[in-house]
Amino acid sequence: NPLNGARFVLAAHDITQLPYDQGAEVAFAGRSNAGKSSALNALTGHNALARTSKTPGRTQLMVVFDLPPLKPDDGAAPLDARLVDLPGYGYAKVPEAMRAHWRGEIDAYLRMRRSLRGIVLIVDIRHELKDFDRTMLEFCAATELPCHVLMTKADKVSRGQAGKALDVLRRDFRQQGVQGTAQVFSSLAKTGVDEARAKIVALLHT
């Protein structure tokens, strides 16, 4: 699992501080408390790669993790690979000015980042999509960026409920014209971890 080699590189306050835009990266997005940090930790096999802390300030950064270089099948030179943890949304305590700054930065990042291969959107399987999630899906539809949704905390619902949630989400994809894929996930029960890793590695190779 190449994600096991993830190492913290830097936390950026704006897109100018990100590493040079080459190679391939996949960005993680999600409302605060959806379970994004826990998912990143489960996927990389680190206990505390992404902090599951509730400190708003800390999540107001784009956090970049390096992965081991990708070896293309055709024998070409290895490619730099990264995971980018986008700031969580939904903290009531974050001042509006900071939220506006972040909306602008994320928007610019998604539109301009050439090495960006796809978005992993983390949603709580128990809840309907929120405005932030819909905005991300709209964005992916508009830019034709692949979006893979991890419906996490699946350990909190029955199999039947999980299946229904997945159906509802796939209907949302069709309605919004998103090239989306989705799966059930649980950081706690480690459900769907291998499937998600394979998806992320495949995105990095596109």
35 lies in the site for ligand GDP, by CB under 6 A: yes
How near is the Cβ of 25 to ligand GDP at its closest, in Å?
A: 19
Which residues from 59-98 bind ligand GDP, rule CB under 6 A? 88
Cα angle at 197 between 192 and 201, to 5 degrees? 150
How near is the Cβ of 105 to ligand GDP at its closest, in Å?
A: 18
> Which of 24/62 has CB closer to ligand GDP?
62
Where does this chain touch ligand GDP (CB under 6 A) — which range of 27-35, 72-80, 104-112, 139-147? 27-35
> Which of 55/175 has CB closer to ligand GDP?
55
> Which of 155/195 has CB closer to ligand GDP?
155
How many whole angstroms separate alpha carbon 85 and alpha carbon 83?
7
Residue 58, token pair as written in the block: 């800390």
Residue 49, token pair as written in the block: 């790669």
How near is the Cβ of 187 to ligand GDP at its closest, in Å?
A: 4
Among 1, 52, 135, 181, binds ligand GDP (CB under 6 A): 52
Where does this chain touch ligand GDP (CB under 6 A) — which range of 17-25, 103-111, 139-147, 152-160? 152-160
Which residues from 153-182 bind ligand GDP, rule CB under 6 A? 153, 155-156
How near is the Cβ of 161 to ligand GDP at its closest, in Å?
A: 14
Residues engaged in binding ligand GDP (CB under 6 A): 30, 32-38, 52, 88, 152-153, 155-156, 186-188
